[in-house]
Amino acid sequence: MRAEYRKRVESATYRDDIVCEIRLQPDPRDESVERLVGWISEKLLGRLRHLAIAYELPLLSRLPTDGQMTFPETQLPSFEDELAFLFDVVSDTALLDAIAPLHE
């Protein structure tokens, strides 16, 4: 692989990019569960969304490129399944490093 392309799968390449917040927030009535907040490069968020569209993943494919989107807490298991699927089929280390906190 040429060096110019190799950089696209290295996390350091995206260190200075604009970052977007991804927040998994439980139902406000459930005080025992803390919200999970992750930050991801805007470029990697776009890549995540495009992969989700390509693999026909219903929740991740609806991630916005700007603004915000809220999924009901009942969809969290499906969201987790879609992330797990991507971890099984994608070898893009920059993207996997960025979404690892959400996958855990």
Higher pLDDT, 30 or 52: 52
Give tens-digit pLDDT for 32-64: 766 667 788 999 999 999 999 999 999 999 888
Please determine, for residue 92, whether its predicted confidence score (pLDDT) is greater than 70: yes
Residue 97, amino acid:
D
Give tens-digit pLDDT for 1-12: 788 899 999 999
Task: Say if residues 13 and 95 touch (Cβ distance below 8 Å).
Answer: no
Query: What φ, ψ does residue 11 adopt, rounded to 5°?
Result: -55, -35
- Domain residue limits, the chain: 3-103
| Euclidean distance between CA atoms 32 and 62, whole angstroms | 28
Query: What φ, ψ does residue 36 adopt, rounded to 5°?
Result: -115, 125
Report the percent of the chain where pLDDT is more than 90: 48
pLDDT at 33: 65
